[in-house]
Amino acid sequence: MAEESEKPVHTEESLMEKIAEKIHDHHDSSSSSDSDHEKPESQSALKAKIYRLFGREKPVHKVLGGGLPADVFLWRDKKLSAAVLGVATAIWVLFELVEYHFLSLVCHILIFSLAAMFLWSNAHAFMKKSPPKIPEIQVKEEHFLLIASALRNELNQAFVILRSIALGRDLKKFLMVVVGLWIISVVGNWFNFLTLVYICFVVLHTVPMLYEKHEDKVDPVAEKTLKELKKHYMVFDEKVLSKIPLASLKAKLG
């Protein structure tokens, strides 16, 4: 009788062991499948971390500041972008090709606007109608303060950089500023200021849009180009810049 009572106990224990083994095997298989799923995700994450131009981590839309200006530059609203570019082109044609003067243009626009509003108001009075509602235009002080504050911050930052360059603390920045100013001076001899502004405006309306469409092709080429430039800069630094006695100058300034 004791042996017969022990048999069900052993069978129950064996059943519990089998159930536990099945649960354990199922857990191992699910964990292995999860790890298999994680591998392609990790691979895709590594692929996503490719080189981007200027080391950016944000989309082009956010780099341009987002909002309406970025939409205009990236042609998200084609009608608005075309209208802005058309107005800029018309202004450039008036001042550059037709040689229209800015003061004359402002005065003529004001004369036409005031004459139209004056005649419109008198026509309403002649027809015994209520006068047209002309809105009162007031520029808020807050907008001017925000613009002035932003401009002040940018100017202060520029002065700090120029001071550090003038003190001879950063030779790399000094060379970059000198080369940049030299390039601007050369380009300034080719075009006048208005034409240069218009060219920059057209570039802002075309290059970001084209780059956003073809960034996967442009970024690898830019990466190779920057690597080559870094190699040339290292050679230049080793042969020329490293031989300039900046330590003694810094000691004297300090």
Cα–Cα separations (whole angstroms), residue 213 to 13, 141, 217: 66, 40, 9
27 residue type, one letter:
H
**Average pLDDT for the chain:** 75
Confidence of residue 90 (pLDDT cuts 50, 70, 90): very high
| Contact of 198 with 88, CB cutoff 8 Å | yes
Is the pLDDT at 233 greater than 90? The verdict is no
Confidence of residue 14 (pLDDT cuts 50, 70, 90): low
Cα–Cα distance between 18 and 36 in angstroms, integer?
27
Q: Tell me, what's the pLDDT at 53?
A: 64
Q: Tell me, what's the pLDDT at 84?
A: 92
Contacts of 72 (CB under 8 A, 6+ apart): 80, 81, 84, 205
Cα–Cα separations (whole angstroms), residue 48 to 20, 41, 44, 216, 229: 42, 10, 6, 11, 25
Q: Which two tokens stand for residue 221?
A: 């080429």
Q: Tell me, what's the pLDDT at 245?
A: 64
Is the pLDDT at 235 greater than 80? The verdict is yes
99 or 16: which leads in pLDDT? 99
Is the pLDDT at 156 greater than 90? The verdict is yes
Q: Tell me, what's the pLDDT at 85?
A: 92
51 or 216: which leads in pLDDT? 216
Is the pLDDT at 89 greater than 90? The verdict is yes
Is the pLDDT at 12 greater than 70? The verdict is no
